[in-house]
Amino acid sequence: MGRLEDKVGIVTGAGQGVGQGIALALGAEGASVAVLGRTPGKLEATCDLLRARGVKAEPFVCDVADTDCVPALLDRIAGHFGGIDILVNNAYSGAFGPLLSMSDADFRAGFGSGPFATFAFMKAAHPHLLRRGGGVIINLLSSVMVRWDPSNYGAYAAAKAAVRSLTRTAANEWGPDNIRVNAVAPHAVSPTYERWEAENPEEAAEFRTAIPLGYVGDCEHDVGRAVAMLCGPDARYLTGATVPLDGGQADFG
């Protein structure tokens, strides 16, 4: 029996990359998984992978930035699976580049899919988690928040820093409800990373060299498995934390 047997997890941005890896890892521990994202074909592909492993999975098409739709969406998910125990806020869509190249719309896009979406999903999930006697929320961050030179990632870093603050606040306010809220900041070989590596081979080589463990993590086995552990009983006393899943590169101290 897995550590998450009979649990129901929601993963946003689960059609590929880190989100898919987390969904697979939750399923491997026995959880049923609601697979959320904008592209139906990608969601079905993730569900096919989960079902092939004997996991109950269902796709739900959504744009996380459309926060007005979130409460009804979580009601649908809870109705389909019988409840909600785990929420993973992974989806993000925003612009990258120097600050002077950013329009107001570019900057707002990252906040819409980042802290505003995270807030909406956490708030809508709260009553469902409460009905189950508690639960777990995991928010995805990035080590770009603490790197010595965040050039070209300023808008992204700002959005993720806001999510980190929400994580800590919710952990404190919802601890009495037996709801744990943590964040992870991963490095992983996702499609986005692979595109960046192909376009910036020298920078990518320097980036990998700076990782003490010597490699960029696997979406399922390095990131997903760690998230599954954080959602399980072995981490029952951990809340309000930021866990770097980056092979030792960043200093969140």
Which residues are the active-site residues? 156
Q: What is the DSSP code string of 15-66?
A: TSHHHHHHHHHHHHTT-EEEEEES-HHHHHHHHHHHHHTT--EEEEE--TT-
CA angle, 51 then 15 then 168, to 5°:
105
Determine the distance from the C-alpha atom of residue 206 to the mean position of all C-alpha atoms in its chain, rounded to a whole number: 26
CA–CA gap between residue 94 and residue 105 (Å, rounded) = 10
How far is the C-alpha of 10 from the C-alpha of 75, rounded, in Å? 12
Q: Which SS3 state, helix, strand or coil, does residue 111 take?
A: helix
